């Protein structure tokens, strides 16, 4: 009967890769006892955005096998590295950028990192906005200082399940950094290669706004899996977002998607939705760029950032937090698609199960 269950599972496709779970190597274990089939599916990311659909499809396919009276589905997860990992121990480096300031890029970065960690991924967060570092404050660690470990490497600070490094934890509060390009390049190099990041599935990099030295240094130094563009819906922001996209294109960095932040506002007293800056403007950037999510204006997101706890943890059921959680999961899904598409030709036709 186990062979029959495996045959049934070979008809279940991954919704994003459009290839069956067996040939993708996602079926880790199958057993049948007293008519009850137990199936363990090894997802390509703990933050799989389509986990519910996969579970439903597996149950439906296995229940159609004659003699099966019940199905137990469990999940594991293993983020697959790209063909060329970015850094030792770090599978994927993901850049979160914007064409201009004031669009909530750092808030999106912090909440995406916290959401991925909440789902079970190993996550690092690099605050590369050297002139205006805000990650430390948003993570509730504005007063902490980066220390060195026994190997004389920077020891990232840990908060909310995320390891992070920020210039705010290396320089006196309120001190302006007046640095030219070479000094910025040196700082970025140290953050990347002289920090003890350990084993990470994702290293999220919160970029400074615009298309300057930090972006150039990062894209020329390491193998980046992809970039995310954060914008608001109005045309004045979209013009600059298009410039950021063009920069990544010229640097041969794939754009994995767009986040439309401050997309709308829901009045708490009436429930009426207001499109303060318009809505859906990010679609003007082109259909080839996936819309990872539309995040509304929400006072909780602002207050939680000021208090040092990401909204996805402090108010996970709020509309804005749910939108940010979906952004993180959609992003993880795009990373999985890119990593697996590079190695599909090398996968075996059948998986040996135990």
Residue 340 has what pLDDT?
81
pLDDT at 352 over 50: no
Indicate whether 280 pLDDT > 50. Answer: yes
- The mean pLDDT value of the chain amounts to 89
Q: How far is the C-alpha of 332 from the C-alpha of 43, rounded, in Å?
A: 11
| Tens digit of each residue's pLDDT (9 = 90 or more) over 252-276 | 999 999 999 999 998 888 888 998 8
Identify the pLDDT of residue 343: 64
Q: What is the tens place of the pLDDT at every residue in 26-65?
A: 999 999 999 999 999 999 999 999 999 999 999 999 999 9
pLDDT at residue 279, rounded to an integer: 81
The band of 350, judged by pLDDT with boundaries at 50, 70 and 90, is: very low
pLDDT band at 215 (very low <50, low <70, confident <90, very high): confident
Q: What is the pLDDT of residue 354?
A: 42
Reported confidence tier of residue 346, pLDDT bands at 50, 70, 90 = low
Q: By percentage, how much of the chain surpasses pLDDT 70? A: 95
Element (H, E) at 133: none
Specify the pTM.
0.89
Give the CA count within 13 Å in the CB-facing half-sphere of 288.
5
Confidence of residue 228 (pLDDT cuts 50, 70, 90): very high
CA 188 to chain centre: 20
pLDDT at 347 over 60: no
290 vs 341, higher pLDDT:
290
pLDDT at 210: 81
| pLDDT tens digits, 290-307 | 999 999 999 999 999 999
Q: State the Rg of the chain over Cα.
A: 22
Residue among 326, 353, 315 at smallest CA distance from 2: 353
For 147-188, the pLDDT digits (tens) are 888 888 999 999 999 999 998 888 777 677 677 777 887 888
DSSP code string of 282-313: GGGG-TTS-EEEEEEE-HHHHHHHHHTS-HHH
Helix (H) or strand (E) run with residue 26 in it: none
Confidence of residue 344 (pLDDT cuts 50, 70, 90): low
Query: How far is 289 from 234, CA to CA, in rounded Å?
Result: 17
pLDDT higher than threshold 70 for residue 192: yes
Mean pLDDT for 198-222 is 89
**pLDDT value at residue 157:** 96
């Amino acid at each position: 009967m186990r062979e029959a269950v495996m045959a049934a599972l070979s008809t279940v496709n991954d919704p994003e890769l459009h290839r069956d779970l067996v040939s993708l190597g996602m079926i880790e274990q199958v057993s049948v006892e007293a008519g009850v089939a137990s199936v363990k599916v090894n997802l390509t990311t703990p933050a799989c955005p389509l986990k519910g659909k996969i579970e439903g499809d597996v149950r439906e396919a296995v229940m159609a096998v004659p003699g099966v009276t019940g199905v137990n589905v469990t999940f594991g997860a293993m983020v697959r590295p790209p063909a060329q990992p970015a850094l030792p121990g770090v599978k994927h480096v993901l850049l979160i950028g914007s064409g201009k300031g004031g669009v909530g890029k750092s808030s999106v970065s912090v909440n995406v990192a916290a959401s991925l960690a909440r789902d079970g991924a190993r996550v690092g967060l690099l605050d590369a906005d050297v002139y205006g570092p805000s990650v430390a404050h948003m993570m509730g660690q504005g007063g902490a200082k980066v220390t060195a470990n026994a190997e004389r490497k920077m020891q990232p600070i840990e908060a909310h399940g995320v390891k992070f490094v920020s210039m705010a934890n290396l320089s006196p509060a309120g001190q302006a950094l007046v640095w030219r390009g070479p000094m910025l390049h040196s700082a970025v190099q140290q953050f990347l290669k002289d920090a003890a990041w350990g084993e990470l599935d994702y290293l999220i990099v919160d970029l400074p706004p615009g298309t300057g030295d930090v972006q150039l240094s990062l894209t020329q130094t390491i193998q980046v899996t992809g970039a995310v563009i954060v914008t608001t819906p109005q045309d004045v922001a979209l013009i600059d977002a298009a410039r950021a996209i063009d920069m990544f294109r010229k640097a041969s960095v794939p754009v994995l998607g767009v986040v439309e932040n401050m997309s709308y506002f829901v009045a708490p007293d009436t429930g009426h939705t207001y499109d303060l800056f318009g809505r859906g403007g990010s679609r003007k950037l082109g259909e080839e760029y996936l819309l990872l999510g539309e995040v509304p204006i929400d006072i909780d997101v602002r207050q939680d950032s000021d208090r040092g706890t990401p909204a996805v943890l402090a108010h996970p059921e709020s509309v804005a937090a749910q939108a940010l959680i979906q952004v993180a999961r959609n992003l993880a899904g795009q990373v999985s698609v890119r990593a697996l598409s590079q190695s599909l030709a090398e996968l075996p036709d059948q998986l040996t199960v135990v």
